[in-house]
Structure 1
Amino acid sequence: MRAWVDEIPEPDLDSHYAKAVADLDEHDLSMLAAWHASLEVGHPIANKEFLVNVFPSLGENRREALKIAAGFRGEEAFDAGVAEEQSLEMVLPFLSEQRCRELAQECVELYCWDRLGSEN
């Protein structure tokens, strides 16, 4: 999900954020508002309209806000039974070839780390 957000063109961030926020429940809205509070962008309200309206003022933090909101949606999809393969099928077509290669390399590294064991 985070890789997909990195690939979104700047002019499209607002609309994707609005879509992500529209599907959040009250708990996720509260979590997102708490993150906004850490940026000191005013007194955040766990309200969809407020969060969407304040989004442009986040500046460099807009992508991170979208990653958080999209991550909540991804967690909900997973809880609803959407398989990882389905998620990948939805996201991969929007990624550049270079980004897909980077993700594949990261996946192999994580797999090896898990299978070979680590100090953690």
Structure 2
Amino acid sequence: MAHVIDRDKWAEAPDRWQGELQCGPFGSRSCLIFNYVPGIGGGPRLHKHPYAEIFIIRSGIGLFTVGDREIEASAGQILIVPPGTPHKFTNLGPGPLETTDIHENGSFITEWLE
């Protein structure tokens, strides 16, 4: 059975593609995060997951810390973080950073390291 999930069920603000959705209840082994990071330096602190995470950079430029590497990624690029790897990212500016993050699990499991 296909599921259609309306924007008001996952979006944090009606005018932004920002929010998150755990897809396990709909039969999927994935979760989605639609990030909108407006300010330079904004982004999540260091954390890891027991599954891979895929970042699709939709606009802007981000500095991703993945393990002991720093990777600058920009609109149109895709970054895949392996399971168990500590990671975080920050918006380098000058404008907003927008990403779609795909977690390879039906519910979020996050261990915060900072």
Q: TM-score range by the shorter chain?
A: under 0.3
Using the size of structure 1 for normalisation, the TM-score is: 0.27
- Which structure has greater strand proportion? 2
User: Highest Rg: 1 or 2?
Assistant: 1
Using the size of structure 2 for normalisation, the TM-score is: 0.28
- Which structure has greater helix proportion? 1
